[in-house]
Amino acid sequence: MRENKRDIITLREFDKEEILYILHSALKISQESEPLLKSHIISTLFFEPSTRTRTSFQTAALRLGASVNGFDSSSGISVQKGENFSDTIRMMEYYSDCLVIRSPHDGAAKLASTLSSKPVINAGDGVNQHPSQTLLDLYTILEEKQTLENLEIACVGDLKNGRTVHSLIEALKHFSPKLYFIAPESLQIPQKYLEKLDNLKISYELHSEFESTLENYDVLYMTRVQKERFDSEVEYEKVAHSFQLTKENIVGKCKSDMMILHPLPRIEEIARDLDDTPHAFYFKQAGNGIPIRKAMLALVLGKYSKLEAKNSDVVEINTDFKCHNARCISNVKTEYVAHRAIIKSGNKQCFFCEK
């Protein structure tokens, strides 16, 4: 691994100034006609399905003059013959200048960053983090509201399994928000995020319905119930139809400039009749994946300006620590992964999935 490279694995590693710098870089790079990544190769290594993230990273790379290689699922690659994640990453770095990785396993991008000498960008790891999604979410809010400060933001839906909300919290904590977490009890936001907000004295409320607080929101961030994270169809069906935003239950009942965001794909949680209202920003939001991902690629490759490398985690290798998260990459069949812990305030957390 190259010590001074900068990866983008989680927004926890970025301070407020750096987040704003990426957002402002995205605006400038979107107006740039220079092929900043000419003769570079970007690899999109997607072990889990994607429409927006993969194609917008690819489009961003192509627009900057780079070439693209990679794969869009585990089914057409040698993982099918038994090759493990670590070997795939170790080898792919010879074919690429930057690895953009999506995996169903928490901590996969972090593991890849330790194996690769090339910059790694996390394009979504299990239920953990999705930093490029958050940056484009913030870009969309900033574009419309002209500020990220002091907004009242409701996150609605599957807050347990939805990595986009987990990532969003890591960034919003810098901007003094008031947060509302609206979910059925079994899908509420994990305690570790609430503890983080408590420590930072950021105000939040937990609810099981959105109607009673709807008129407070500046942004309603809707999410899909993540069917693929459930153990069975029966369990999924118990909560699958918990919420639906419709013209009838939104328009005239919220602030006139309330934005509805959604990382997409949507299933039924936003009715089609909202699409043509002034509240609907979710397709524009998906479009903003291009300027944000252009900026991320140019910045990690040092072709616009450089994000400085940071490594503030204290890491223990091969301790008696064993990650308790069954979804963590360190608990998947990866023979070359030693369990590692980050030591924070005397407590141990998994180095890969941070649980």
Q: Under a CB-based contact definition with an 8 Å cutoff, are residues 307 and 6 in contact?
A: yes
Going from the C-alpha of 216 to that of each of 154, 251, 253, 274, the distances in angstroms are 9, 14, 10, 19
The answer to whether 64 touches 35, Cβ cutoff 8 Å, is yes
Contact 3, 158 (CB under 8 A): no
Longest CA–CA span in the chain (Å) reads 58
Binds ligand CP by CB under 6 A, chosen from 10, 25, 44, 53? 53
If binding is defined by CB under 6 A, does position 162 make contact with ligand CP? no
Active-site entry in 10, 44, 53, 334: 53
Torsion, CA 111, CA 116, CA 120, CA 122, rounded to 10:
-20
Among 264, 271, 342, 343, binds ligand CP (CB under 6 A): 264
- From the candidates 54, 102, 118, 229, which is the catalytic residue? 102
Q: Which of 6, 40, 52, 160 is catalytic?
A: 52
Q: What are phi and psi of 118, to 5 degrees?
A: -100, 150
Give me the least distance between CB of 17 and ligand CP, in Å please: 26
Min dist CB 268 to ligand CP, Å, is 17
Q: Counting contacts by CB under 6 A, is residue 73 touching ligand CP? A: no
Sheet holding 347-350, edge to edge: 315-317, 340-344, 347-350
Binding mask 287-316 for ligand CP (x = CB under 6 A): ------------------------------
Does 70 contact ligand CP by CB under 6 A?
A: no
Tokens of 32: 């740039």
Figure out which of the listed residues 88, 103, 133, 330 binds ligand CP, where binding follows CB under 6 A.
133
**By C-beta, is 245 or 337 nearer to ligand CP?**
245
- Tell me the C-alpha distance between 272 and 196, whole Å: 36
Contact region with ligand CP (CB under 6 A), list: 47-55, 239-247, 269-277, 346-354: 47-55
* β 315-317/219-222 pair status: unpaired
Choosing from 130, 229, 303, 339, the catalytic residue is: 130
> Is 327 tagged catalytic?
no
Sequence letter at residue 290? I
Residue 124 CA to residue 109 CA, distance in Å, equals 8
Question: Does 52 contact ligand CP by CB under 6 A?
Answer: yes
**In whole angstroms, how close is the CB of 53 to ligand CP at the nearest point?**
3
Cβ proximity to ligand CP: between 187 and 350 the closer is 187
Do residues 203 and 229 touch, judged by C-beta distance below 8 A? no
130 is catalytic: yes
Is 53 annotated in the active site? yes
What is the set of active-site residues?
Answer: 52-53, 81, 102, 130
Interaction site with ligand CP (CB under 6 A): 50-53, 124, 133, 263-265
